């Protein structure tokens, strides 16, 4: 298993850098992920999306549908790509500390 | 010597027939497998553009009534024409086709010799000037088949050696045994040509030899003809150890796998076969399988010996 | 650059040696504006240290390097044991006869190579020949699993050594084939190299416990545990679909609702749950159509009755059988008349034909493909259509598992000819089609740098075909629709179109068949298909 140090914590990650132990996540880790992708400051809007994603994942064991994410956060897809350079699945989910989506998605 | 040739011939034919029979029975007795057909399935009514009866299954399995006749005819034709090779791999076809024509005709040649012997025994001479039409037919049939077979076969064998050596892609996949096979067939066909030119231009000796085989009354032949007979018999004995069976197994590969779209009807033999197979034990070692149970138990996640409710 | 020629015995080279590499300028060229090469993603230095990387510079499987010789030897021993089990009637009755017919009678004529989408796209790399892996595998079986094999190998029947390099390379190489079976179709002797490849995958999975994590651990295992490889549990599935129904109702004013667990319904519709997440329009379209046509239908909320995928088809007979059995049991419990597939190719093949000889008695419930189901709806006369609403260029991708492997060719075409005035075929199409490049489970696999291989190599022929089909209106100003009635294919196209920017550069989007039908409905006023980013 690959390892990566983020915000001073050694994390188990998959080959794309997604965290494998979601309970080790904290806000600094999200910031560190963002910085790696060139977003040096996480805004209120980032946190809205990250918190929604994370809470949804913790409650349901899976990331929400994009349409639901759009509806619940009020951000358009374009807006989500502006906030998260690699998009909701590859950036937002990763920064939220949840595993990469699999299974025909 | 004469008696040896006859004995060897009997042995070679019995050997190859037995070996082939054993192999065919082995394949035929393998258990029924999961469906793995590939379209177009030639026997389907709409098979021309690839459609299966499944397209029309609103009425579950009412439309299935197909025949294997079409498939068998197609495969037989294909065995004589090699049109699939002609379409997709022409240079290879150019040597493969004569090689196989050599085999087919050499078999026809021997079949004609055998029946020619019967014709002779019945009192009709087999000769160019025979007064019996049957005698003429066998005379020319044997002559034409033999000559064409030897020539095309020798051309094909030599051609395949060259093709397989010259084409890097083919060479990479060739084994020493491949080349041995080609050289062997080349020698068989060349010995036929040699005997025909120098010892037996009308196959008179060959026909007489076959009369001797049938009547168990060996006649003597010239050394060149004897050499060809021995080589051909050895070739027959060697054949079961090569891939030559594909001429026959091809029918199974197509009819029993590629075109096998027989549904599993309730109460059918297929179904009862499957029931039996699901009771077979599994011993695969990967942890997720949890072996030591039967297929049925594993698939339904029952513990061994747990009674079906 | 000179082409690298490989010998069969190269497979056994010292464990760490990389056998070949893919250079983007060796691949067959793409037409402009896609002819600019960006280079392919390499393994990072850290990955090179940890992971086996001895094949082609790609890692689909992220196989960790073994700790020591003892570990290597353990796997080698298991591999040999697995070879023998593949030849046993008890352990492999499922495919023994086809396997032997394909192993023993190949003429090594290489006719199949040119039929292979991967081999052709790669610029004819030896390593990707359909026969390269299978000939090696054949020689290993002959040598190590048959009596007298070692002697015959020494005497000239073809000799390959088993070592760590051999098995680790074969493992990775068994996932460089999309199991599309184009090679099998062209073989004059009926040899099926895709089947042999699948047997190889099976050996690794069933004996060594090696399988891509997307297919196994997060695939079939997760599906049997929670209900779906997406991780979607029953309550979440219901919640998601309710959300989609409400969303559609809100935006169109047409009230739709999805029936759940309705006992005695005519039809149990078995979507792929991935569609709910990645192509929700497909799910909504089926709901709209079933309701509009007055069909008595239901979804099931019993795990895994709401996810029709069955990755077992790609790599493991046991998992395959477990999942089809579950699906059939759920349908039996609901007392439905038949199961209808969603637009998912491998689900079709797994459940309609392959499962046919696994399901016995009352578990063998009637099953219908999505194409003829939709055809019946379209031509039932119950829904009014206006084909001019679909007046944009449409082409059809033939999913291998629906067309070449199942023989369902015409129903989807009848629909498109009726509802899409600008429908055009690709060349070649129907049972001669090229695979999308994501077949055989590849489309859900994306570990390490494998996505780059899928979009550049295995999907290349298809991408060229698509561009050619739309060559009359190549610009992005004309919206074009690739109809791919299979979730696996759609996912491959999604990756590929994103990678190449096909929507931005050529205006091409990809979706299913049901969406086109709904888009043509007179009652659905607002365009159902849009070229906005989804």
Tens of pLDDT, residues B131-150: 899 999 999 999 999 999 99
Contact predicate C143/C150, CB 8 Å: yes
DSSP C299: B
- CA terminus-to-terminus distance, chain A: 23
Contact predicate B284/C85, CB 8 Å: yes
Q: What is the ipTM of this complex?
A: 0.95
Structure tokens, C103: 């192993």
Q: Do B266 and C361 touch (CB under 8 A)?
A: yes
* Residue B6: predicted pLDDT: 96
Give the model's confidence band at C102: pLDDT under 50 very low, under 70 low, under 90 confident, else very high.
very high
Q: Is C454 helix (H, G, I), strand (E, B) or coil?
A: helix
* Residue B305: predicted pLDDT: 53
d(CA B78, CA B42): 13
Domain with A21 in it: what CATH number?
1.10.10.370
Q: What is the mean pLDDT of residues A78-83?
A: 94
Q: Is C401 helix (H, G, I), strand (E, B) or coil?
A: coil
Structure tokens, C100: 């032997």
* Residue B46: predicted pLDDT: 79
Question: Quick check: C338 contacting B, CB < 8 Å?
Answer: yes
Q: What is the mean pLDDT of residues C313-340?
A: 98
Helices B176-198 & B90-121 angle (0-180, nearest 10): 50
Q: What is the mean pLDDT of residues B11-15?
A: 97
User: Of the candidates C229, C243, C309, which has its C-beta nearest A68's C-beta?
Assistant: C243
Give the model's confidence band at B309: pLDDT under 50 very low, under 70 low, under 90 confident, else very high.
very low
Q: DSSP string of C68-120?
A: SHHHHHHHHHHHHHHHHHHT-HHHHTTTHHHHHHHHHT-----TTGGG-HHHH
Structure tokens, C532: 């906005």
Q: To which residue do tokens 């937002």 refer?
A: A92
In chain B, which residues have their Cβ closer than 8 Å to the Cβ of C86?
none
Q: What is the mean pLDDT of residues B57-69?
A: 73
Question: Quick check: C238 contacting A, CB < 8 Å?
Answer: no
Contact predicate C528/C281, CB 8 Å: yes
Residue A102 lies in a domain: no
C498 Cβ neighbours under 8 A, 6+ residues apart: none
What CATH topology corresponds to B2-35+67-258? Fumarate Reductase Cytochrome B subunit (1.20.950)
d(CA B167, CA B162): 8
* Residue B48: predicted pLDDT: 74
Q: What is the mean pLDDT of residues C395-400?
A: 98
Closest C-alpha among B158, B173, B221, B295 to residue B3:
B221
Closest C-alpha among C486, C205, C213 to residue C320:
C205
d(CA B82, CA B93): 7
* Residue B63: predicted pLDDT: 61
CB-neighbour burial class of residue B218 (10 A; exposed 0-12, middle 13-18, buried 19+): middle
Phi and psi at B284, nearest 5°, equal: -60, 145
Averaged pLDDT of chain C: 96
Give the count of domains, chain A: 1
pLDDT in tens, C10-41: 999 998 999 999 999 999 999 999 998 778 99
Q: Is C269 helix (H, G, I), strand (E, B) or coil?
A: strand
Find residues 457-486 of chain C whose CB sits inside 8 Å of chain B: none
Question: Quick check: A5 contacting C, CB < 8 Å?
Answer: no
Work out whether the CA dihedral C290, C296, C297, C301 comes out positive or negative.
Answer: positive
Closest C-alpha among B299, B55, B65 to residue C353:
B55
- Kindly report the nearest CA distance between residue A102 and chain C, in angstroms: 5
Catalytic position from the list A45, A96, A104, A105: A104
pLDDT in tens, C510-525: 999 999 999 999 999 9
d(CA C431, CA B40): 7
Q: Chains C/B: 3 or more C-beta pairs closer than 8 A?
A: yes
| SS3 of chain B | CHHHHHHHHHHHHHHHHHHHHHHHHHHHCCCCCCCCCCCCCCCCCCHHHCCCHHHHCCCCCCCCCCCCHHHHHHHHHHHHHCHHHHHHCHHHHHHHHHHHHHHHHHHHHHHHHHHHHHHHHCCCCCCCCCCCHHHHHHHHHHHHHHHHHHHHHHHHHHHHHHHHHHCHHHHCCCCHHHHHHHHHHHHHHHHHHHHHHHCCCCCHHHHHHHHHHHHCCCCCCCHHHHHHHHHHHHHHHHHHHCHHHHHHHHHHHHHHHHCCCCCCCCCCHHHHHHHHHHCCECCCCCHHHCCCCEHHHHHCCCCCCCCCC
User: Of the candidates C230, C280, C532, which has its C-beta nearest A103's C-beta?
Assistant: C230
In percent, the amount of chain B with pLDDT more than 90 equals 79
Question: Quick check: C321 contacting B, CB < 8 Å?
Answer: yes
Contact predicate C93/B279, CB 8 Å: no
d(CA B230, CA B226): 6
Contacts A–C by Cβ distance under 8 A: 84
* Residue B307: predicted pLDDT: 46
pLDDT at C184 over 60: yes
CB-neighbour burial class of residue B149 (10 A; exposed 0-12, middle 13-18, buried 19+): buried
User: Any idea where the domains of chain B sit in the sequence?
Assistant: 2-35+67-258
Contact predicate C350/C378, CB 8 Å: no
Q: Does domain C227-375 have CATH number 3.40.50.1860?
A: yes
In what order do the strands lie in the sheet containing C394-396? Answer: C423-424, C394-396, C480-483, C508-511
- Kindly report the nearest CA distance between residue C530 and chain B, in angstroms: 31
Averaged pLDDT of chain A: 93
C369 Cβ neighbours under 8 A, 6+ residues apart: B54, B55, B57, C340, C341, C348, C352, C402, C406, C408, C411
The domain in which residue A40 lies consists of 2-95
Q: Does residue A104 have an active-site annotation?
A: yes
Contact predicate C338/C268, CB 8 Å: yes
Contact predicate B287/C220, CB 8 Å: no
Question: Quick check: C221 contacting B, CB < 8 Å?
Answer: yes
User: Of the candidates C115, C184, C208, which has its C-beta nearest B286's C-beta?
Assistant: C208
Helix (H) or strand (E) holding A54: helix A44-60
Question: Quick check: C340 contacting B, CB < 8 Å?
Answer: no
In chain B, which residues have their Cβ closer than 8 Å to the Cβ of C6?
172
Give the model's confidence band at B68: pLDDT under 50 very low, under 70 low, under 90 confident, else very high.
confident
Find residues 263-292 of chain C whose CB sits inside 8 Å of chain A: 272-278, 280
pLDDT in tens, B224-263: 999 999 999 999 999 999 988 898 999 999 999 999 988 9
Residue A100 lies in a domain: no
DSSP C455: I
C37 Cβ neighbours under 8 A, 6+ residues apart: C24, C25
d(CA A34, CA A30): 6
Helix (H) or strand (E) holding A13: strand A9-13
Rg (CA), chain A: 13
Helix (H) or strand (E) holding C224: helix C221-226
Q: Is A11 helix (H, G, I), strand (E, B) or coil?
A: strand
C187 vs B40, B112, C102, C143, CA distance in Å?
13, 33, 10, 25
Contact predicate C392/C480, CB 8 Å: yes
DSSP C416: H
* Residue C508: predicted pLDDT: 98
d(CA C397, CA C426): 8
Find residues 102-161 of chain B whose CB sits inside 8 Å of chain C: none
**Per 3-state DSSP, what percentage of chain A is helix, strand, and coil (rounded to 5)?**
50, 10, 40
pLDDT in tens, C271-326: 999 999 999 999 999 999 999 999 999 999 999 999 999 999 999 999 999 999 99
Q: Do B85 and C158 touch (CB under 8 A)?
A: no
In chain C, which residues have their Cβ closer than 8 Å to the Cβ of A104?
229-230, 272-275, 277-278, 309, 344, 443-444, 487-488, 491
In this structure, how many other beta carbons lie within 10 angstroms of the beta carbon of residue B187?
17
Helices B176-198 & B223-238 angle (0-180, nearest 10): 150
d(CA C497, CA C506): 10
* Residue B287: predicted pLDDT: 97
Residue A103 lies in a domain: no
* Residue B304: predicted pLDDT: 55
pLDDT at B195 over 80: yes
In percent, the amount of chain C with pLDDT more than 90 equals 96
pLDDT in tens, C449-471: 999 999 999 999 999 999 999 99
* Residue C157: predicted pLDDT: 85
Give the model's confidence band at B52: pLDDT under 50 very low, under 70 low, under 90 confident, else very high.
confident
Q: Which of C82-86, C249-253, C512-516 has the lowest mean pLDDT?
A: C249-253
Q: Compare B280 and B42 and report the one with higher pLDDT.
A: B280
pLDDT in tens, C346-397: 999 999 999 999 999 999 999 999 999 999 999 999 999 999 999 999 999 9
For C140, what's the count of Cα atoms within 13 Å in the CB-facing half-sphere? 28
Residue A56 lies in a domain: yes
* Residue A101: predicted pLDDT: 85
Q: Is C206 helix (H, G, I), strand (E, B) or coil?
A: helix
In chain A, which residues have their Cβ closer than 8 Å to the Cβ of C278?
104-105
Contact predicate C342/C367, CB 8 Å: no
In chain B, which residues have their Cβ closer than 8 Å to the Cβ of C360?
264, 271, 274-275, 278
pLDDT at C265 over 60: yes
Q: Is A4 helix (H, G, I), strand (E, B) or coil?
A: strand
pLDDT at B308 over 50: no
């Amino acid at each position: 298993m690959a390892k990566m140090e983020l915000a001073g914590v050694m994390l188990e990650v998959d080959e794309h850098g997604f965290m494998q132990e979601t309970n080790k996540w904290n806000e600094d880790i999200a910031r560190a992920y963002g910085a790696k992708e060139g977003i040096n400051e996480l805004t209120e809007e980032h946190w809205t999306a990250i918190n929604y994603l994370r809470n949804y994942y913790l409650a349901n064991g899976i990331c929400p549908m994009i349409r639901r994410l759009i509806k619940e956060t009020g951000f358009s897809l374009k807006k989500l790509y502006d906030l998260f350079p690699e998009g909701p699945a590859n950036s937002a989910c990763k920064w939220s500390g949840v595993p990469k989506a699999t299974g025909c998605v | 010597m004469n008696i040896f040739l006859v004995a060897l011939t009997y042995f070679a034919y019995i050997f190859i027939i037995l070996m082939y029979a054993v192999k065919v029975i082995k394949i035929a007795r393998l258990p029924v497998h999961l469906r793995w057909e590939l379209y177009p399935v030639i026997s389907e009514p709409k098979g021309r553009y690839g459609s299966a009866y499944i397209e029309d299954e609103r009425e579950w399995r009412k439309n299935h009534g197909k025949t294997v006749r079409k498939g068998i005819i197609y495969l037989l034709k294909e065995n004589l024409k090699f049109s699939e090779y002609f379409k997709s791999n022409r240079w290879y076809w150019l040597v493969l086709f004569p090689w196989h024509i050599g085999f087919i005709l050499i078999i026809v040649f021997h079949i004609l010799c055998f029946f020619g012997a019967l014709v002779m025994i019945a009192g009709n001479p087999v000769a160019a000037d025979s007064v019996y039409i049957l005698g003429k037919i066998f005379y020319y049939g044997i002559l034409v088949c033999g000559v064409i077979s030897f020539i095309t076969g020798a051309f094909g064998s030599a051609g395949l050696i060259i093709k397989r050596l010259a084409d890097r892609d083919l060479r990479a996949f060739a084994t020493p045994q491949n080349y041995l096979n080609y050289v062997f067939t080349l020698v068989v066909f060349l010995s036929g040509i040699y005997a025909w030119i120098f010892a037996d231009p009308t196959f008179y000796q060959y026909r007489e030899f076959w009369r001797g085989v049938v009547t168990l009354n060996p006649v003597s032949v010239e050394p060149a003809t004897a050499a060809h007979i021995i080589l051909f018999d050895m070739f027959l004995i060697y054949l079961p150890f090569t891939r030559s069976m594909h001429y026959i197994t091809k029918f199974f590969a197509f009819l029993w796998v590629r075109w096998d779209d027989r549904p599993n009807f309730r109460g059918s033999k297929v179904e009862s076969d499957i029931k039996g197979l699901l009771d077979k034990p599994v011993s695969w070692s990967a942890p997720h399988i949890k072996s030591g149970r039967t297929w049925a138990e594993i698939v339904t996640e029952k513990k061994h010996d747990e009674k079906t409710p | 650059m000179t082409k690298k020629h490989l010998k069969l015995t190269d497979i056994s080279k010292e464990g760490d040696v990389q056998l070949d590499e893919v250079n983007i300028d060796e691949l067959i060229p793409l037409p402009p504006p896609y002819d600019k090469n960006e280079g392919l993603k390499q393994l990072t230095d850290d990955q090179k240290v940890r992971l086996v990387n001895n094949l082609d510079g790609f890692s689909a499987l992220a196989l960790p390097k073994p700790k020591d010789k003892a570990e290597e030897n353990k796997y080698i021993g298991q591999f040999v044991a697995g070879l023998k089990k593949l030849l046993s009637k008890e352990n492999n009755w499922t495919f023994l006869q086809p396997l032997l017919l394909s192993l023993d009678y190949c003429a090594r004529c290489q006719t199949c190579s040119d039929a292979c989408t991967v081999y052709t796209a790669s610029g004819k790399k030896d390593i990707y020949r359909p026969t390269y892996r299978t000939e090696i595998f054949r020689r290993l079986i002959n040598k190590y699993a048959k009596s007298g094999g070692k002697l015959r190998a020494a005497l000239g029947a073809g000799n390959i050594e088993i070592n760590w390099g051999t098995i680790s390379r074969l493992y990775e190489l068994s996932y460089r084939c999309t199991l599309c079976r184009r090679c099998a179709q062209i073989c004059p002797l009926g040899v099926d190299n895709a089947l042999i490849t699948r047997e190889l995958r099976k050996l690794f999975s069933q004996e060594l416990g090696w399988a891509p994590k997307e297919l196994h651990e997060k695939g079939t295992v997760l599906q049997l545990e929670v209900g779906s490889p997406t991780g979607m549990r029953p309550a979440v599935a219901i919640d998601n679909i309710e959300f989609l129904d409400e969303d559609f109702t809100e935006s169109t004013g047409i009230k739709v609702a999805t029936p759940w667990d309705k006992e005695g319904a005519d039809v149990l519709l078995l979507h792929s749950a991935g569609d709910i997440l990645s192509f929700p329009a497909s799910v909504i379209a089926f709901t709209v159509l079933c309701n509009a046509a007055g069909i008595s239908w239901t979804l099931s909320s019993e795990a895994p009755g709401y996810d029709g995928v069955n990755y077992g088809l790609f790599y493991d007979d046991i998992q395959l059988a477990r999942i089809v059995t579950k699906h059939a049991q759920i349908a039996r419990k609901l007392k439905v008349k038949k199961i209808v597939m969603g637009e998912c190719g491998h689900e079709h093949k797994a459940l309609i034909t392959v499962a046919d000889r696994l399901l016995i008695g009352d578990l063998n419930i009637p099953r219908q493909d999505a194409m003829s189901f939709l055809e019946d709806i379209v031509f039932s006369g119950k829904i009014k259509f206006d084909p001019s609403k679909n007046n944009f260029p449409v082409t059809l991708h033939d999913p291998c598992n629906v067309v070449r492997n199942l023989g369902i060719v015409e129903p989807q075409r009848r629909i498109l000819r009726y509802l899409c005035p600008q429908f055009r075929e690709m060349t070649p199409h129907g049972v001669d089609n090229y695979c999308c490049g994501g077949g055989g489970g590849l489309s859900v696999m994306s570990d390490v740098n494998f996505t780059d291989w899928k979009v550049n190599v295995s999907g290349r022929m298809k991408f060229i075909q698509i561009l050619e089909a739309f060559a009359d209106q190549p610009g992005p100003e004309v919206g074009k629709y690739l109809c791919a009635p299979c979730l696996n294919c759609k996912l491959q196209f999604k990756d590929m179109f994103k990678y190449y920017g096909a929507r931005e550069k050529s205006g091409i989007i990809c979706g299913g068949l049901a969406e086109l039908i709904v888009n043509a409905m007179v009652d659905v006023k607002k365009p159902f298909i849009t070229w906005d980013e989804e």
